[in-house]
Every structure is written in C-alpha cells, then in structure tokens.
Structure 1
Amino acid sequence: MSNQLPMAGQTVIMCKRIKQNLWTVVFCALKMLNTLLKRVLRVRLCELLWCILVFVIFIVLWTFSDVKETSAKVTAQYPVILWWTLEFPGSSTTRTCSNNIKCHVYSDIEKDKYYSVGAYLFYASNIKFKNLPLPRKPKDVIWGLYHEESPRNVEELLHEKALSLFNFTATFSRFSNVPFPLQHLHSFEDITSTTYFVKTSIKNTYLKDISPIMYLQSDCETSTERDAYVQELMKVIDVDSYGSCLNNKELPSKFKTDYLNNLNEDEFLKFIARYKFVVAFENGACNDYITEKFWRAIKVGTVPIYFGSPTIRDWLPNRKSAILLEDFPTPKILHKHIEQLLNNDTLYEEYLEHKTIQTITNDRLVNEYRDRPYQLDGIKVIEKFECFICEKLHEKMNNQIGVNVVNKSHYDCPKPISALSLKVNPENSWVYSWEKAEIDAAKIYTEIMNGD
C-alpha cells in the first residue's frame, strides 16, 4: 500500500513550493533595492521606481500563481475516495475491484487540497458533524458511512435525518449496501464445534460449586437496563456475577488481569462453558445488532438468555438456540422455565442441538454466511465497502446512477426498550438522550444541506 501522490499531485505541490520561495526572493530583492535607491537617488524617483517594481512583481506573481484553486484540484488517474474521519482505516492504496476497475483510496484529509474527490467515507465512531467536507453536493460527490458499533456511540445516527446525509452504508443491518450482521461470529465452524462444549451430565456435577447462570458485565449503565433485570432475577435464582456490575463472585486469579481483553482466550472460554446458562443482553437494541455476547455462548455451548436485537430469531442456528426474554416476559416467569430445564436434561438439550447433533437448520443464517463470507473479517469488510463505492463512482461517471439516499433501515434502532418491562421506560435517561438526538439530527441535517 502506497501513500505516494500521483504525478499530477506532485506537480501541484512543487508549484506551490516554488511560489512560496519566489515570494521570499522577491521580498529580499525589494528590501535591497529600496535601501539602494534611498541612498543613491532622490526620494521622488525612489517612490516612482518602487511603484513600478511592485506593479511588475504583482503581474508576474499573478500569472505564475495560475496553479491556483481552480487548477489545484487536479483529476487523478482514477476516481478518488477519501476517508474523512481521522485514524481510520489509516492506510492509502489504489484499490482494484471487480472487472478491474480502480480507485485511489486515501486516509489523509490533506489530499482534499489536491484532488477532485469523488467520494468521502466516514467512520461513524470518529465523525464530527462540525467538521465535514462542505458544501454538501449530493449530485456531485458521494458520502459513504461505515458503522459497526453500538448505537450509543453516535446517537444522532439513530435517526433518519442524520442517516439521510449519506448515499451508501456499510453496517450490521441486512439492508445496508454492504451488510455484515455476522461480524461477531468469528467462524461458522464455531457454531457446531465441540472444542469447548461440556456435556450436560458434567455440567450438572458443577452445580455443587457454581450457579446455573453466569453474568459478566462491566458496563453497568445501559439503555436496555440489563442490571435492573438481573437484579430482579437474582431474587428468585442464583446468578454468579463476575464483572463490576452486580458483582457477587471473584474471578479466578489467573483471569483478574485485563480479563476484558481476554474473553476469547481458550482458558476463559472453558471457564464460561461450565455454566448451563449465560445472560447475554445487548447494551442497545437495534435490528440485526448481535454481538459477541450471543455468539460466545453459542461457541462454547452454554444457553444464552438473550435480550437485544428484535430480529434475533432470524439469526439463531436452530429454532431454540436461545432463551428469549420476549417469550418469558418477567424474571419470575423466566425462573420457572429455567427450573424446568434444570430438572429435565432432555428439555435443556433442545437448546443445544447445534452441539449435540451438530446441526444448523436456519437457512437464512447458512445463506448469509455463504453469500457474504467477507463479513467475518473486519479488514475485508472495509475493502468490500471501498470497492462498492468505487463501482458506484465508475457508474456515476458513466451516468448510470442517480442520487441515492440512505434510510432508517440501514441502521434501525428504535427508542430504547427496558429488559425489565419490555417497554419504553420514560424514566430511563437513555430515552431522553434518544429523543434529544432526534432533535439534534434534524438540526444537523438542515445546517449541512443548507450549507450553513
């Protein structure tokens, strides 16, 4: 990957440097001439010559500086894609895509001074709405949004007004232009692999020393109010809580140092696999937003008690691969169901068919993996998005596409729902933030589209 400017850009930079040096030389020459003329000639003649010199120099510089703003924006060999947000992805290249089409891709916003940029890309977590490449010209320049993170990161993007600033997206939504709903599934083989799986009969013996349910969280203030739910659940059944949220049990000493960055290490996965159930609540509820909390449980073969994405059923390996809160709407009702499963291994193992008989019956999940294998690798997702935008730029050059506008389906996060009530809790501060962000998003849209 190369950060080198194409020849046209180098020429522009060279001309600008020559112009700067010329200014310095001219200034020194004027100073010397002025001193000389004052000493040798009369004042009136000196003033006359001074005016003539200034006029001549002005004409020369004006002519030379016609590598100015209009010509400084040169056309590169291939269409230019520029990542506007700093530090992501941090590299530059000439991307070669399908049918051998090519685009220059840069991560250095300084390139904006030299090139006619065809598309700006934005990494949502680093976006600053007060620092965008304005004026916005939807007919001339494409804006693309890459957003893989939690909805709490940039709340304005929970709303359609902010999303509609962009033409194309790469998000976890299946309706995105470059979707990656399986981003947190490390490999498809993890679903059926028995590497970490503990048989039910052995799990039963562990119940002498551990609770049937594990809870591990260090982010305690969430829009889904998961701590409030688990606190109520703890009143009716034992839960081992290892994180800083509702902590009631110490992690083994070997895991205490930086465990959050070692959640996928072999020893830690084996530690989780001993439990019959694990609480897997997302910190935000968006369609198709399913994180490692769910997939880690699937990988090790413990049953996830899940709350988060309203579309989770579309991604379960089998019909009963998780206990969903919407089916057991209160902690007491959930407790009764868990007691049933604890007393009946056959019923319990209905939730583990992806391990016990190593089957996946969900065609949507299988097809998603088969059709979009890139999504299991974050770097490949970025490359796929860059190539998608590159293809759109070439289509645009050939007048094959009009102006596309992103809608809410590309990042669909409704008003926060409480796990405890399965309704919007107006007392939840995240609900207020969501509503305020809606107002802010409308204001941002108006300012940008009006060129304010």
Structure 2
Amino acid sequence: MWNGETAEQNTHNPVILWWTESFPGTSETRHCSNGIRCDIFSNRNISDLYNVEANLFYASNIKFDDLPLPRRPKEVIWGLYHEESPRNVEEMMHEDVLSLFNYSSTFSRFSDVPFPLQYLNSFEDITNIKYFVPTVEKNKYLNEISPVMYLQSDCETSTERDIYVNEFMKYIKIDSYGICLNNKKLPIKFTEDYLNKLHDDEFLRFIARYKFVIAIENGICNDYVTEKFWRAIKVGTVPIYFGSPLIKDWFPNNKSAILLEDYPTPKIMSNYISKLMNDDKLYESYLEHKTKGLVTNTKLSDEIKNRPYQIDVLKTATEFECYVCEKLHQRRKGKLEQSNVNKNHYDCPKPLSALTLQVNPLNSWAYSFETAKQNAASIRKKIMTVD
C-alpha cells in the first residue's frame, strides 16, 4: 500500500501535518497506491515553509485551545484519528465537535478508515490452543479457584461495572484481582507492574484456568471492543460481556460470549452460569473456536481479510495518511466533494449502567456527558467564527 522516505525539502506534493504531538511521529514522503504521494510532517514549524493542505489530529492529544485557526474548511482538510473510549475526550461524543473534521479513522465500522478489530492481535489467536485449558481440567481447578475471574484496577467507570460485579458476587463465587473489589491476591510473580504483564505467556495461562471472565468495557460505543473481550477469546475462557452493542458481529461463532443484556440481572446471570457449570456440553458450545477450531462468522474473517492494517496501530495511521493524501489529490483535480465526520464515525451515547442496562442519572459520567455536550457547542462556535 505504501512506503516512505524522508520528506522532500522542496515539495510539490500535497503537505499533510500531524498537528497534535507524539503520535504517530511521521516525517516522510508517503507513497500510496495509484502512484500518488504526499509529504507528511509532525513538526508544526513546517507550516511557515509549506502550504499545509491537511491537518491530522490524534484525539487523545488534542487541545481545543490550541488548533490551527482560522478553520478555512474549503482550503484545509481536517482528519481525526481516535481509538480510545469516550472518557478520554468526552467532547468527541458530540457531533458539534466531530463535524469539525472532514474524515476519520476510528474503531467504528462507519469511519473512513475503520479499525474495529484493533485489539485482536492476530486472526490465528482465535483458534490457537496454546493457552487453552480443556473443560475437564478447568473443572479440576475449581478446587482452588472460583469459576469466574474479575481483574480491574480502574474502579470508577461510566458503565458502573464494579456496582454490577459487587451485586453478582452475592450469587456466585468470583475471584477479583486488581484494585477493584479485591478479594484475592495475585501470585507474587504478577504483582509488580502487572498491568504491563497482561499479555505475558505466564499470565495468559493463569487466566485460561478460569471458566469465565467478566469483560465489561469502560465505555459503551458501537465497535469499541477492547482486549477485555479478545483476551478471553485468545486464551479460551468465556467472556461475560457488556460493551459494544454490535459485539455479536465480531463473535467467532454464534455463541462466543455471554451478554449481560441476554441475562439482564446479576441473579438471572448467575442462574445461567450455574446451569453451564453443570453442563459441560452446553459450556463448550461457547468454545468451538478452540475445541473445534471453528470460525463460522464470515463478517469477522472478511473484516480481517479486507482491512489487515487494523491490528497494527502504525499501519492504521499510515492507511489514514494515504486516505487523506488521496483526497488531497482529488481536490487538486477538482473532483472532491465536501465531507464531514458525523456521529456514526464515533457512536458513543450517554453512558449505560451494567447493572440496570439503563442510564443512571446519578452517575457522574451521565452528568459530564451533558457538560461535554455544552462544551462541544461552545468549541464549535468559537472555531467556526474565528476569522
């Protein structure tokens, strides 16, 4: 798709500037498909030397009081790259801010350069049995561990996952590691800097002994699916999941996770988990990607085939650079129609509680959603009125 070299000093190529700092740090001539190329920079000082035709923004580092104004939407393209949950930059949940940008690269399938599978390390991880513990062995481990594992150190989330798990604990045994609702200590070998050991072989094998893992996202957005889900799939435990409303589209098979919305209270969920504990065949129906090596969901396999870049963050950024580069060449030819990012590109509604599956008006995150909406309107007004 592309290759790069040091950006040309006297360029006739369209110039793209990453306005935000640090990521991805590109400073080279980007050669894209169809023989087109653009010069990409990450140093704002080049704006004194070249005519910048597009500014790109890494949302996590954006500062709304430090933007390349005036906006000049007919002359300069703005592109948004955003892979994080809405708590990262809450104003991005609202179209007043989103629509300031012409193109996007986000986890949403409706983005211009989407990466809904960003946390899937490889397609092979789904069926690989490197970490997988067969059911008969998991049953033996129940003499020393609980059937369900919970591991979190972010204890105040918009989805109120700790509130849900605390209630769930009343009905079923759960080993809770991490800071949140801690009732069991991690082995000493994992305690030092454990957040950076979550992908180590030994830690993955530790998780794989459990029959179930609670996987509740810290934000509810279409296609925002993190390592909480994919780690469980990788090691061969069954995720008890709450997060992306579209998660079933990325199941390896029809039954690859247990969704809170299908068993909408902790008591109802615990009754179903107990049923699975007493029926190995039913339990294993959630693990056919491991026990039979099956991936029957063609939407998942097609997504990886058609967009292989998305499991590598730098390749995704490069894909986005080339997408914007192509738009700049189209505009130079007078063939580009005006485009703006909309809510579908980053679809994160007001936060829902995992416990009630509804908005909790007393949740501070629900309040800050409204505050961010007002901020977004003010930001847009300020940006679009600067001469």
- Of 28, 31, 36, which residue of structure 2 is paired with 1:93? 28
**Are the equivalent residues in 2 in contact too, given 1:213–1:238 (CA < 8 A)?**
yes
Q: Is the 8 A contact 1:416 1:430 kept in 2?
A: yes
State whether structure 2 residue 124 is matched by structure 1 residue 189: yes
2:44 is aligned, of 89, 109, 113, to 109
**Distance of 2:147 and 2:48 partners within structure 1:** 60
1:321 aligns with 2:277: no
Residue segments in structure 1 that go unaligned for 5+ positions in a row? 8-75
Q: Is 1:222 the counterpart of 2:225 in the alignment?
A: no
CA contact (8 A) 1:3 1:91 kept: no
Match of 2:166 among 231, 234, 244: 231
Instruction: Give the Cα separation in 2 of the matches to 1:140 and 1:201.
Output: 64
TM-superposition CA deviations, 1:317-363 (whole Å, max 9, x none): 11110000000000000000000000010110011011111111111
Query: How many pairs were matched up?
Result: 384
- SS of the aligned residue for 1:118 comes to strand
Indicate if the aligned counterparts of 1:303 and 1:352 stay in contact, CA closer than 8 A.
yes
Greater Cα shift, 346-355 or 82-91 = 82-91
Matched residue, 1:160: 95
Do structure 1's residue 280 and structure 2's residue 215 form an aligned pair? yes
The 5-angstrom pairing of residues 11-410 of structure 1 reads: 76-410=11-345
> Is the 8 Å Cα contact of residues 285 and 413 (structure 1) preserved in structure 2?
yes
CA distance in 2, matches of 1:4, 1:316: 42
Q: SS state of the match for residue 73, structure 2?
A: coil
Letter in 2 for 1:111: I
Give the match for residue 30 of structure 1.
none
Aligned-residue RMSD, C-alpha? 1.0
The percent of aligned pairs where both chains have the same amino acid is 65
Pair 1:426-2:357 in alignment? no
1:341-394, Cα deviation, whole Å (9 max, x unpaired): 000101100110111111111111111011001101111101100000000000
Contact 2:7 2:29 in 1 (8 A): no
User: Alpha-carbon deviation of 1:88?
Assistant: 1.7
Q: Which amino acid aligns with 1:80?
A: V
Residue identity opposite 1:210 in structure 2: I
Q: Is 1:6–2:9 an aligned residue pair? A: yes
CA contact (8 A) 2:8 2:39 kept: no
Q: Any idea what SS the aligned residue of 1:284 has?
A: coil
* Equivalent-residue separation in structure 2 for 1:120 and 1:392 (angstroms): 13
**TM-score (normalizing by structure 1):** 0.84
Please identify runs of 4+ aligned residues in structure 1 that moved more than 4 A: 1-5
Mapped to 2, the partners of 1:91 and 1:414 lie a distance apart of: 33
* 2:9 partner amino acid: P
- Rounded to whole Å, the distance in 2 between the matches of 1:368 and 1:401 is 27
Task: Report the Cα offset of residue 258 of structure 1.
Answer: 0.7
Q: Secondary structure at the match of 1:122?
A: strand
Shift of 1:255: 0.5
Instruction: Encode CA deviations 1:273-294: one digit per residue, 9 max, x unaligned.
Output: 0000000000000000000000
Contact 2:222 2:246 in 1 (8 A): yes
Deviation for aligned residue 1:451:
1.1
- Provide the C-alpha distance between the structure 1 equivalents of 2:110 and 2:23, rounded to a whole number of angstroms: 24
Does structure 1 conserve the Cα–Cα contact (< 8 Å) formed by 2:8 and 2:29?
A: no
* Residues 162 and 442 in structure 1, CA contact (< 8 A), matched pair in contact too: yes
* Amino acid corresponding to residue 316 of structure 1 in structure 2: F
For residues 197 and 379 of structure 1, the distance between their equivalents in structure 2, rounded to whole angstroms, comes to 30
The 3-state SS of whatever aligns with 2:127 is: coil
Residue 215 and residue 388 in structure 1: after superposition, are their counterparts in 2 closer, same or farther (change >3 A)? same
Q: 1:91 deviation in Å?
A: 2.9
Aligned counterpart, 2:372? 437
CA contact under 8 A between 2:94 and 2:343: conserved in structure 1?
yes
Deviation of 1:2 (Å):
6.0
Q: How far apart, CA to CA, are the structure 1 residues paired with 2:250 and 2:147?
A: 25
Q: Which AA in structure 1 matches 2:124?
A: E
Which structure has greater helix proportion?
A: 1
Q: CA deviation at 1:4?
A: 6.3
TM-score by length of 2: 0.98
AA in 2 matched with 1:416 = P
- Residue of 393, 404, 412 corresponding to 2:347: 412
Larger Rg: 1
Which residue does 1:23 correspond to in 2? Answer: none
For residue 81 of structure 2, give the secondary structure of its aligned residue in structure 1: strand
Q: Which amino acid aligns with 2:191?
A: K
- SS at the partner of 2:133? coil
